[in-house]
Chain A
Amino acid sequence: MSKKENWQKILALACVILGILIALQFRTQKNQGFPLYHNRNDELIRIINNLEKERNQLQFDLKGIRERLKSYEENFTQGKSLTKNLKEEIENLRLQTGLEPLAGPGLVIKLSDSSRKPKINEDPYFFLIHDMDLQVLVNELLAGGAEVISINEQRIINRTSPPYEIKAIGPSTNLEAVLRMPGGFLDSLTPYILNGIKIKIFQTPNTVIPAYKGSLAFRYAKKIGEKK
C-alpha cells in the first residue's frame, strides 16, 4: 500500500507541471485572439483628439482671418495705404510656400538600402528603398501633423538617391508614434528590415529645413481664361 501512495505523490508532482502547461497554453491562446484590437482603440481616440484640436485651430484661424478682412476694409474706407498690411502678408506667404528655411521641433528619419547582397532565393525588391516607401512616409508624416518636410535637404522633391534622410517639422512624439503604430509605416517595411534595410528615427528639438530651391513657374498649368 505504501508503494501505491508513493507513485501517487510523484504523479501529483507531474500533474503540477501539467497544470502549468495547460494554464500557459490557455493564456497564450487567449492573447492570440486580436493582437491589433487593443491598440486600435487608443489609436482611434488619438485620431479623434487630433481632429478636435485641428478643428479648434481652424476656428481660431477663421476668426483671425475675419478680423484681418475687417481691418482691410476699414483701412480701405479710410483711404490709408495697404502696403504695411501687404508686406506682413508677403512675409507670411513666403514661409508657407517654402521659400524660407524653417526650424522647429521634429523628426529625422534615415533610410538606407540593405548592405547585404540578396541570395538567389531572395527578392532584391525587398533590399532597396523605393519611391513608394518615401511617398507613404511623407503622407504618414503629413497625416501626423508635420508642417514642413524635406528629403535629403530638399523640400519634398523627387529625384534623390539612398540613403534618404527625411526631415519634418511637427509634433515629434506624435509623428514618431504615427510611424510606429501597428499597421503603420514601420510595420509595412518589416520584410525590408528583415533583409537589412536600416531605419533610424531621431526626435530633434530643432529641425532645420532648407527653403525650396526649385522653380515656382508652372510649365503646363495655365490660368483658366488666359489664351496662349
Chain B
Amino acid sequence: MLLILGVLAGLLIGMIMPFDLPLVYAKYVSCGFLAALDSVLGAIRAGIEEKFNFLIFVSGFFVNAILAGFITFLGDRLGVDLYFVAVITFGMRIFENLTFIRLDLLSRFFKKEF
C-alpha cells in the first residue's frame, strides 16, 4: 500500500515539476528509471525473503543507476548503443523479481506452495 502511495506521490511531483528535461538526457533518465525499478523490485523480493538490508538496497539503488548512466554515456562516446546492455540486464532482472513476487503472492493467496 505504502509503495503504491509512494509511486503516486512521485508521479505527482514529476508532473508539477516546473522544468522539462532536455531531450539529450531522455536516454539517461530511462536507464535510471530501469535501474530504480530493478532495485525496488529486488528490495521487495528481499523483503519477502526477509533478507532485506538497508545498506545493500541504498547502495544498489544509487550505484546501479549511476553505472547505467555511465554505460550509456560510454556508448554514446564510442558510437555503440551500450545502453541496451543496461536495458536488457535490468529488464531481465525485473522479470525475474516480478516472477518471484507473483509466485509469493499466489502462494499467500491460495495458502500453498508453488
Contacts and interface: CB of A to CB of B under 8 A. Distances in A.
A27 B82 CA distance: 24
A9 B2 contact: yes
A22 B8 CA distance: 10
B9 A25 contact: no
Contact of A15 (B10, B20, B29): B10
B17 A24 contact: yes
Contact of A14 (B5, B25, B32, B61): B61
A32 B26 CA distance: 10
A12 B3 contact: yes
Contacts of A28: 20-21, 23, 25-26, 29
B33 A21 contact: yes
B10 A16 contact: yes
Nearest to A4: B47
A16 B10 CA distance: 4
Interface of B: 2-15, 17, 20-21, 23, 25-26, 29-30, 32-33, 36-37, 39-40, 43-44, 46-47, 50, 52, 54, 57-58, 61
Interface of A: 3-4, 7-29, 31-32
18 contacts: A7-B47, A7-B52, A8-B47, A10-B54, A11-B2, A11-B3, A12-B2, A14-B57, A15-B9, A18-B6, A18-B10, A19-B12, A20-B13, A21-B10, A21-B33, A23-B17, A28-B20, A28-B21
